[in-house]
Amino acid sequence: MRFKKNTVNILVLNCGSSSLKYKIIKMPGGTELVRGEAERVGIKTQGVSRITHFSCGKKTVVEVPLANHAAALKKSLELIARDSAENSDICFDVFAHRYVHPGTLFSKTMKVDKVVLRKLKDTLPLAPIHNPIIYRLIEFCYDEYYNIRQFIVFDTSFHRSIPPEFSTYALPLKIIKKYHIRRIGFHGLSHQYVMEEACKFLGKDKSSQRIISCHLGTGGSSVCAINNGKSVNNSMGYTPLEGLMMNTRCGNIDPGIIFYIMFKERFSPEETESVFNNKSGILGVLNFSSDLRDAIRDMRNNPRARMVFDMYIRRVRSYVGFYSLILKKADMLIFTDSLGVSCPDLRQGVCRGMELLGIRLDEGKNAGCRGNIGDISSVRSETKVLVIPTDEEIMIARQAYRELMKNDTGC
């Protein structure tokens, strides 16, 4: 397929464990034509599965059973086809998928073919919450829509610049080499996007900036140190399990606890992995919810909710402090994703007492900043403290478009 005047509509599919975000983005300009999100996909829940769809200035909410991500995609495509019947500009030429953890197999955007699919199958255990779900959706698209080109964009590519002193684990070299074990890092699409948007917002050149990016979501969370436009460290490691306390992931713990629990509970590796990935973190401690916003709501009257909030904050602060040392003070501290953008209490908790590192928050600006891009730093702050909503889908579209143009000489 050749595209006229280099213009192509890319359907971006950003698959979460129980959600599917989608956007049709017209490239190279980056114009959004359609967006939507399917929620409560493939899980047992008291709430109803639904798709919230935006197109041509209209919002449509459809409540419908969504047994899996393929069903969510089919229903989303029905909504897109309805829009296309009314407006022929709403269509797509290419699929672009986000893939969480390719191990060390891929470090750049790939066109989907049988060889790539076969290799990806070996990476399914690396991110058990995400990889199998995304893989099945890519495979479904490859089989059902074989005449449409597809690309996979990897969440880890931005972190390939992490230097060896931070990417190497203190394990036997023989094991490291045999299994290609190293810090890989995640949320790279988000960290790269907010870095670029923050520099644009402040009129700075990214090649001269020292940045700490806090991607704090209701699912996964990570902190990234960025120096001169390149990732130099990320709180997530070989898998997304390392680092911050998350909704159901434990984050950093003493590895000895793993062996002790396996021995005492007689757990298999799979059962143990499920405890640390699916039953720990905020859910494990709070017990009634995996959402930090519920802890923030209840923390004035519930000591356990207060403790969960403090645990979360202190873990973020430890990375901000560590990365400030690596960067010799940051020029920018960025908060992004659902919690980072919408929770002033969280941002205030992270920044409290950080004057030594040059970080001072303006409490009034912080309280008033919810959901929009903003500078919430005090006039006396050496480090700019920013709120930048993320947009992983535009990063996926840009990278897929770049790869597509390499392969299409007709453009």
Tokens of 374: 């903003």
Compute the average pLDDT of residues 213-219: 92
Q: How would residue 267 be classed by pLDDT, with cut points 50, 70 and 90?
A: very high
Q: What is the pLDDT of residue 408?
A: 66
Contact assessment for residue 329 and residue 357, using Cβ atoms and an 8 Å cutoff = yes
* Secondary structure (3-state) at 128: coil
What crossing angle do the helices spanning 255-265 and 269-278 adopt, rounded to 10°?
Answer: 120
Reference 102, options 82, 119, 77; nearest CA is 119
Q: What is the pLDDT of residue 65?
A: 87
Compute the average pLDDT of residues 228-236: 98
Q: What is the pLDDT of residue 19?
A: 83
3-state SS record for 161-186: HCCHHHHCCCCCHHHHHHHCCCCCCC
Which range among 158-162, 216-220, 379-383 shows the weakest confidence by mean pLDDT? 216-220
- Check whether 185 has a pLDDT greater than 50: yes
Q: What is the pLDDT of residue 234?
A: 98
Tokens of 15: 């698959």
Q: What is the pLDDT of residue 410?
A: 42
Rg of the chain over Cα atoms, rounded to whole angstroms, equals 21
Q: List CB contacts of 304: < 8 A, sequence separation 6 or more.
A: 285, 286, 287
* Secondary structure (3-state) at 374: strand
Q: pLDDT above 90 covers what percent of the chain? A: 81
Mean pLDDT of the chain: 92
The rounded distance, in Å, linking the Cα atoms of 227 and 121 is 34
- Check whether 56 has a pLDDT greater than 60: yes
- This prediction has a pTM of 0.90
Place of tokens 């983005």: 25
Compute the average pLDDT of residues 108-118: 94
Q: What is the pLDDT of residue 368?
A: 93
* Secondary structure (3-state) at 248: coil
Q: How would residue 5 be classed by pLDDT, with cut points 50, 70 and 90?
A: low
Q: Which amino acid is at 34?
A: V
Place of tokens 């006229």: 4
Compute the average pLDDT of residues 350-355: 96
Q: CA–CA distance from 360 to each of 197, 356, 381, 385 (Å)?
A: 21, 9, 5, 8
Q: How would residue 16 be classed by pLDDT, with cut points 50, 70 and 90?
A: confident
Compute the average pLDDT of residues 66-91: 91
Reference 68, options 120, 135, 121, 5; nearest CA is 135
Which range among 29-33, 287-291, 299-303 shows the weakest confidence by mean pLDDT? 287-291
Report long-range pairs for 175-181 (Cβ below 8 Å, ≥24 apart). Answer: 180/103, 180/104, 181/238
Q: What is the pLDDT of residue 72?
A: 92
Compute the average pLDDT of residues 109-135: 91
pLDDT digits (tens, 9 = 90+) for 136-149: 999 999 999 989 99
3-state SS record for 74-126: HHHHHHHHHHHHHCCCCCCCEEEEEECCCCCCCCCCEECCHHHHHHHHCCHHH
Q: How would residue 102 be classed by pLDDT, with cut points 50, 70 and 90?
A: very high
More confidently predicted of 125 and 303: 303
- Check whether 325 has a pLDDT greater than 80: yes
Place of tokens 């296309």: 84
Q: List CB contacts of 114: < 8 A, sequence separation 6 or more.
A: none
- Check whether 1 has a pLDDT greater than 60: no
Tokens of 262: 């396996």
The rounded distance, in Å, linking the Cα atoms of 197 and 187 is 16
Strand order in the sheet with 110-111: 58-63, 50-55, 31-39, 19-27, 8-15, 94-99, 149-154, 110-111
The rounded distance, in Å, linking the Cα atoms of 227 and 163 is 12
Tokens of 399: 């990278």
Compute the average pLDDT of residues 259-278: 95
- The helix or strand, by DSSP H or E, that contains position 71, with its residue range, turns out to be helix 69-86
Q: pLDDT above 70 covers what percent of the chain? A: 96
The pairing of strands 210-216 and 221-227 is antiparallel
Compute the average pLDDT of residues 125-139: 89
Which range among 17-21, 366-370, 378-382 shows the weakest confidence by mean pLDDT? 17-21
Region of 162 on the Ramachandran plot (φ > 0 left; ψ -120 to 50 alpha; else beta): beta
- Check whether 46 has a pLDDT greater than 60: no
The rounded distance, in Å, linking the Cα atoms of 9 and 27 is 6
Q: Which amino acid is at 264?
A: K
The rounded distance, in Å, linking the Cα atoms of 171 and 61 is 50
Q: List CB contacts of 280: < 8 A, sequence separation 6 or more.
A: 248, 249, 250
Which range among 2-16, 150-164, 220-234 shows the weakest confidence by mean pLDDT? 2-16
Q: How would residue 372 be classed by pLDDT, with cut points 50, 70 and 90?
A: confident
Q: What is the pLDDT of residue 45?
A: 58
pLDDT digits (tens, 9 = 90+) for 388-411: 999 999 999 999 999 998 876 443
Which range among 191-205, 222-236, 285-299 shows the weakest confidence by mean pLDDT? 285-299
Q: Which active-site residues does the annotation give?
A: 155
Cα 44 to the chain's mean position, in Å? Answer: 23
